[in-house]
């Protein structure tokens, strides 16, 4: 009976997460593809370059606190008030240097329309970073219904603002304005959900300042390696954008960015599965290790099978997908998409493997792997992009995913870790830092 109820709950959570996140990602892809049709290859390449730069800056406000919050809430609901309060406070503090970084980059590195776009996308990225953190809180409490409503609202705001901007503005500035408006709208809606549902409402904000400072130190000790690994991973995942633009120009970057949107957009499937499974993986690590290993094995096989299906679909249907999504002007994106299709099975699997490492408190392992992949990817881009342009960058991405799979499997089979406990006294964070 308990097994059946557990299966039904899991199926319900996956369905809620899948439908809502799928709607949000679908709206984002539709707006992006509509932008490609309206802007053309060269202008779309400039938009891809600016959006990549702001995405990298936005990671600086994360500090790994989203993953830490979900993991901490999944392991200890009794400390939920402190976890949420400390996580949001640290997020707020991190937003100030992020704002300065966006302003500095806009002033020093960009000109004209691109400068305005950086500022607008910077606002949108910061708002979405907070919305992502609200979602991490809801996942930690396993309130997947509330998270589904949050994702659905993001889809609605993004679709309405994005298509309206393209309809009336038909420019990079108008498109970025639409992203900024949709991000701020989602932020306001997310705040209403959090204030209405979280037990912090009506309680003193700093009931125990000393313990909260201790928890903040422990949180950063555990989250910063995960954050830096995520930053480096995003950098090696996106660095080809800069190489393609430098060696081949905006038009070639526009074609490659269009192909990469299919590759990146397909990540919704593993994102849904791991969002639902991650709280259970985190709890199993401090409880039933056999159940944890069994769950990891099943998830890994499912992710690999789904990745094979996605890769076959993108390889066989590359031409009609590009024509339908971006229009006939983006024909050069087809070959890049076919090359990227070979990496999709490993991309899906690696999404799970890196989450397994984090659930086992092996955030430092993910950091070292990400650093090695960044070095490898840069070397491959320097070797392949000058002659191969977009397809060369795609091949570099695939080869990097092969290396990442090997590294993750090696770490999972050789490393062991101790589970972290949330500190209840000021002395405990020191023990947590040594364990980390």
10 Å CB burial of residue 320 (0-12, 13-18, 19+) is: exposed
In terms of residue numbers, what domain contains 123?
9-416
Q: Is 358 domain-assigned?
A: yes
Statement: residue 277 has pLDDT above 50: yes
Q: Is 427 domain-assigned?
A: no
Statement: residue 84 has pLDDT above 90: no
Q: Is 374 domain-assigned?
A: yes
Q: Is 424 domain-assigned?
A: no
Comparing CA positions, the residue from 83, 11, 40, 27 lying closest to residue 171 is 40
10 Å CB burial of residue 399 (0-12, 13-18, 19+) is: middle
Whole-model pTM? 0.67
Statement: residue 199 has pLDDT above 70: no
Comparing CA positions, the residue from 323, 332, 322 lying closest to residue 392 is 332
> For the segment 139-170, what is each residue's pLDDT rounded down to a tens digit?
788 777 788 888 888 888 988 888 888 888 88
> For the segment 169-178, what is each residue's pLDDT rounded down to a tens digit?
888 898 999 9
> For the segment 53-64, what is each residue's pLDDT rounded down to a tens digit?
888 788 777 777
Q: Is 421 domain-assigned?
A: no
Binned at pLDDT 50, 70 and 90, residue 420 comes out as very low
Q: Is 225 domain-assigned?
A: yes
pLDDT of residue 285: 66
Q: Is 434 domain-assigned?
A: no
The length of the chain, given as a count of residues: 436
3-state secondary structure the chain: CHHHHHHHHHHHHHHHHHHHHHHHHHHHHHHHHHHHHHHHHHHHHHHHHHHHHHHHHHHHHCCCHHHHHHHHHHHCHHHHHHHHHHHHHHHHHHHHHHHHHHHHHHHHHCCHHHHHHHHHHHHHHHHHHHHHHHHHHHHHCCCHHHHHHHHHHHHHHHHHHHHHHHHHCCCHHHHHHHHHHHHHHHHHHHHHHHHHHCCCCCCCCCCCHHHHHHHHHHHHHHHHHHHHHHHHHHHHHHHHHHHHHHHHCHHHHHHHHHHHHHHHHCCHHHHHHHHHHHHHHHHHHCCCHHHHHHHHHHHHHHHHHHHHHHHHHHHHCHHHHHHHHHCHHHCCHHHHHHHHHCCHHHHHHHHHHHHHHHHCCCHHHHHHHHHHHHHHHHHHHHHHHHHHHHHHHHHHHHHHHHHHHHHHHHHHHHCCCCCCCCCCCCCHHHHHHHHC
pLDDT mean over 125-146: 84
Binned at pLDDT 50, 70 and 90, residue 422 comes out as very low
Q: Is 433 domain-assigned?
A: no
pLDDT mean over 248-263: 86
Our count of domains for the chain comes to 1
> For the segment 7-52, what is each residue's pLDDT rounded down to a tens digit?
455 555 556 666 666 677 778 878 888 888 888 888 888 888 888 8
Cβ–Cβ < 8 Å for 130, 94? no
> For the segment 345-388, what is each residue's pLDDT rounded down to a tens digit?
999 999 888 888 877 777 677 778 888 888 998 999 999 998 88
pLDDT mean over 290-317: 87
């Amino acid at each position: 009976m308990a097994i059946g109820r557990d299966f039904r709950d899991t199926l319900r959570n996956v369905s809620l997460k899948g439908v809502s996140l799928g709607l949000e990602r679908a709206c984002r892809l539709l707006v992006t593809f509509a932008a490609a049709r309206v802007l053309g290859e060269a202008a779309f390449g400039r938009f891809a370059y600016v959006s990549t730069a702001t995405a990298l800056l936005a990671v600086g406000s994360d500090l790994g606190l989203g993953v830490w919050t979900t993991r901490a809430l999944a392991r200890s609901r009794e400390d939920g008030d402190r976890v949420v309060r400390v996580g949001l406070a640290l997020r707020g503090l991190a937003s100030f240097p992020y704002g300065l970084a966006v302003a500095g980059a806009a002033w020093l590195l960009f000109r004209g329309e691109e400068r305005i776009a950086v500022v607008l996308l910077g606002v949108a990225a910061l708002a979405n970073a907070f919305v992502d953190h609200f979602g991490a809180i809801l996942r930690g409490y396993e309130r997947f219904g509330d998270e589904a409503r949050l994702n659905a609202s993001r889809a609605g705001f993004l679709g309405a603002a994005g298509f309206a901007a393209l309809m009336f503005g038909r420019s990079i500035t108008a498109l970025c304005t639409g992203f900024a408006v949709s991000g701020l709208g989602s932020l306001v809606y997310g705040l209403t959900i959090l204030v209405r549902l979280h037990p912090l409402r009506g309680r003193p904000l700093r009931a125990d300042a000393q313990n909260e400072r201790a928890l903040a130190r422990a949180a950063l000790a555990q989250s910063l390696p995960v954050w830096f690994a995520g930053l480096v991973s995003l950098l090696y995942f996106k660095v080809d954008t800069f190489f393609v633009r430098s060696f081949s120009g905006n038009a070639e970057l526009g074609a490659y960015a269009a192909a990469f949107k299919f590759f990146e957009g397909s990540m919704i499937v593993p994102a849904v599965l791991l969002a639902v499974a991650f709280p259970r993986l985190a709890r199993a690590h401090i409880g039933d290790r056999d159940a944890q290993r069994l769950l990891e094995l099943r998830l890994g096989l499912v992710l690999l099978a789904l990745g094979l299906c996605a890769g076959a679909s993108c390889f066989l249907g590359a031409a009609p997908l590009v024509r339908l999504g971006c229009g006939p002007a983006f024909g050069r994106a087809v070959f890049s998409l076919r090359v990227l299709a070979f990496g999709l099975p490993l991309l899906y699997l690696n999404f799970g493997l890196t989450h397994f490492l984090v659930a086992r408190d092996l955030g430092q392992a993910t950091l070292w792997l990400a650093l090695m992949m960044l070095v490898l990817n840069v070397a491959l881009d320097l070797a392949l992009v000058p002659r191969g342009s977009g397809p060369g960058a795609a091949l570099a991405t695939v080869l990097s995913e092969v290396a990442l799979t090997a590294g993750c499997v090696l770490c999972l089979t050789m490393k062991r870790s101790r589970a972290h406990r949330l500190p209840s006294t000021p002395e405990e964070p020191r023990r947590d830092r040594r364990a980390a």
